[in-house]
Amino acid sequence: MVTFLIKLSICWGFFALLYIALLRKETFFQANRLYLLGTLILGLFIAAVPGEKIPEPIYVASFTEIALPVFTVGMEQAEKAAAGLASWNWLELIYWAGFSLVMLRISWGLILLIRTLRAGRSERLSDGTRVIYTGKTAKPYSFYQWIFLPEQFSETSSSLILAHERAHVRGKHSVDVLLLEVLSAIFWFHPFIYWYKRSIRTVHEYLADAAASGQTDKKQYGLLLIGQSQMGSPAVFANHFYQSPLKQRLVMLTKKSSAPYRALKFGLLLPLSFLFVLLFRQAPAIAQAVEEANQIPAVGFENPESTPQFPGGKEALANYLNSHLKYPLAVHPGENTARVSVNFDVTKSGDVSNVKATVVNGLKNIESSIANIEKVFAAMPKWTPASKNGELMTVSTNLNLLLQVSNEKSSKTSSADPEFPGGNEAMGKFLMKNVKYPESAKKENAEGVVVVAFVVQEDGSLSDIQEATGRKDLHADLVKEAIRVVSIMPKWKPGVVDGKTVKTKFTLPIKFTLDNETAKDISDIDKMPEYPGGFNALVAFMGDNIKYPEAPKKANITGTVLVSFIVETDGKLSNFEALKSPHPDLSAEAIRVMKLMPAFSPGMKDGKAVRVKMTLPVKFAL
């Protein structure tokens, strides 16, 4: 909302400056009215539409650091520390109080107008306008098709006033006024809404004065304005005959009409406004491009601390695919399975994008289902995105599908795929420990994804290890390194079909990438440190001890605090550091609670306790 208001202020301010500099003193009243109304709405639209951004860098999902799961601190925990008005957002209270007062003023004005309408004597004019004679001393005004006219005016004055107010009715100025009143209630705190309100109402009076003064001498009409300008108080919704500012109206009344060539100013406004909108929308992308241009690239791996997760985990993902994928039913002799490699990105918001499915091997007619596979992936529910240093990041990832077709016309993903001992996380650690970026590839800035195909035998050993795609653009040393690492893997858990272990062909994509960070040394441990009682006990401890600090709560500040710490060999915690925090009080509270934690069971390496650096993301939410 703050960003929206800043953008709105810039837009309205720019359009107001153009009007003051080029149009305010011209007598093109109807064009000025359209400009003011148009830019009022255009500013809202521009502020609401997000600016263009350069696509953010895509990182490789892999396992590089040990990070505990995120624990969310919500209002349930915060209310243990404070209750009542302390938990209210005072800025929100002030806004709604101001909104309510403005709406009460508008409602009261409408009530008074309805009372006057019912109490007065009505007369219908030839154009359908109704004149309501109020029978009391007050200012004449109009609202939609009604003209409210006090009976104390002379016949000459009444005819001029009627001409003025009928111009308001014909121009449907009440529609403008009603729009302005609604926006002034929503943006009651914004100074530009009052500038627009005053400027548009002034233009209304210029239009009505021009129509009425054409029926008499302008001097006589001006004297009528001066003589009656002090009467009564105006109604909220109405267009008034004696609407301020009187001096400006008299100046415009006597001013010579603007020369036609001065209308060329409106031609200048169009390119200026278009250029402003273009620059305004491109500003984030321009700033990002400048920032990236100043960065000096270096060699290394860029990896998130946590990989993206499908909601509910791997089992839920398998169920989703089983229920949505449709496979071809035609079976080729000796072929009843197909392996499909699906590459896709999981964005910072958890959306799946850039889906590309490729047939690795198997059924020759599986290509007919590629479009369906890509569509199913693109329609997935939001994932939990990857993160690094407390910030969400877009990650490119890969998923291999083993599709099986039977003669009974049923199809499913294999429920017993081959598996690296310990699962994907263990395989990620194995690859991070053993993959070495070839120096020759570094020097040539060579990158790419090497898809390694191999057969998992019935006993779990790997054979027939080779690059699967046959791509000629891959650096030869990258291919050699990927094959080398796969060849030294331990035995896998073999695939199972109908309760029997079988040979299974498998593919493993290994992505080599160079970026702007050097490679990091990762703690090489056999057993991770653990909070006493496990993660559920950690959640309970956080819920009992953490308090939402008052300052960020009142300012409606939320976000994730990423705390780095070391589990010593005796299990005690030390070296607390907030790597990322939206507010100092939030990081202070997270560290305070972590210092209260009991000793962990320490990390182990070769049977010995070792110091292990860990990170804990703590999410504060209101």
Please report, for the domain that includes residue 395, its CATH number.
Answer: 3.30.2420
Among residues 514, 531, 547, the one where a domain terminates is 514
Q: Do 213 and 282 reside in the same domain of the chain?
A: no
The dihedral built from the CA positions of residue 492, 497, 501 and 506, taken in this order, carries a sign that is negative
pLDDT of 596? 94
Q: Do 208 and 341 reside in the same domain of the chain?
A: no
- Residue 309 covered by a domain: no
Label residue 300 exposed, middle or buried (CB < 10 Å: 0-12, 13-18, 19+).
middle
DSSP summary character for residue 65: S
Query: How many domains does one find in the chain?
Result: 5
C-alpha 185/C-alpha 193 separation (Å) is 10
C-alpha 27/C-alpha 524 separation (Å) is 79
- Cis status of the peptide bond prior to 50, with omega within 30 of 0: no
pLDDT above 70 (res 391): yes
DSSP annotation string for 222-247: HHHHHHTTTSS---SS-EETTPSPHH
Q: In this predicted model, which residue has the larger pLDDT, 456 or 518?
A: 456
Give the H/E segment covering residue 370: helix 370-378
- Residue 145 covered by a domain: yes
pLDDT above 50 (res 484): yes
Q: Do 228 and 107 reside in the same domain of the chain?
A: yes
> In CATH, what number is assigned to the domain containing residue 504?
3.30.1150
Q: Which residues contact 465 (CB under 8 A, 6 or more apart)?
A: 452, 453, 454, 483, 486, 487
C-alpha 136/C-alpha 148 separation (Å) is 11
- Residue 305 covered by a domain: no
- Residue 59 covered by a domain: no
pLDDT of 66? 31
Among residues 368, 390, 415, the one where a domain terminates is 415
Among residues 490, 514, 538, the one where a domain terminates is 514
Mean pLDDT of 438-458: 84
Q: What is the mean pLDDT of the chain?
A: 75
Sequence length of the chain is 622
Mean pLDDT of 70-77: 35
Q: Do 425 and 478 reside in the same domain of the chain?
A: yes
C-alpha 617/C-alpha 559 separation (Å) is 10
What's the pLDDT tens digit per position in 251-286?
777 777 777 777 777 777 777 777 777 776 665 555
- Measured CA angle at 298 (ends 296, 299), to 5 deg: 165
Strand partners, 618: 71, 561
How many other C-beta atoms lie within 10 A of the C-beta of residue 361? 16
Q: Do 535 and 569 reside in the same domain of the chain?
A: yes
pLDDT of 263? 74
Q: Do residues 300 and 515 touch, judged by C-beta distance below 8 A?
A: yes
Q: Do 193 and 219 reside in the same domain of the chain?
A: yes
Q: Which two tokens stand for residue 158?
A: 């009444």
Q: Do 147 and 254 reside in the same domain of the chain?
A: yes
- Measured CA angle at 421 (ends 417, 425), to 5 deg: 90
Q: Do residues 260 and 30 touch, judged by C-beta distance below 8 A?
A: no
Q: Do 164 and 100 reside in the same domain of the chain?
A: yes
Give the H/E segment covering residue 81: helix 75-81
- Residue 341 covered by a domain: yes
Backbone angles phi, psi at 300, to 5 degrees: 165, 180
Rg (CA), the chain: 36
Lowest mean pLDDT among 498-502, 530-534, 588-592: 498-502
Lowest mean pLDDT among 82-96, 236-250, 269-283, 294-308: 294-308
Buried b (16+ CB within 10 A) or exposed e, 289-298: eeeeeeeeee
Residue 178's domain comprises: 91-258
Q: In this predicted model, which residue has the larger pLDDT, 550 or 305?
A: 550
pLDDT above 60 (res 49): yes
Q: Do 427 and 473 reside in the same domain of the chain?
A: yes
- Residue 396 covered by a domain: yes
What's the pLDDT tens digit per position in 120-163?
888 888 888 888 888 666 678 888 888 888 776 666 667 778 88
Q: Categorize the per-residue pLDDT at 54 as very low, low, confident or very high, splitting at 50, 70 and 90.
A: very low
Q: Percentage of the chain with pLDDT > 70?
A: 73
Q: Do 396 and 449 reside in the same domain of the chain?
A: no
- Residue 263 covered by a domain: no
What's the pLDDT tens digit per position in 89-128?
678 889 999 999 999 998 998 888 888 888 888 888 888 8
Q: Do 483 and 617 reside in the same domain of the chain?
A: no
Q: Which two tokens stand for residue 364?
A: 């020759």
* pTM metric for this prediction: 0.44
3-state secondary structure of 295: coil
Q: Do residues 182 and 272 touch, judged by C-beta distance below 8 A?
A: no
- Residue 313 covered by a domain: no
Q: Do 591 and 501 reside in the same domain of the chain?
A: no
pLDDT of 508? 79
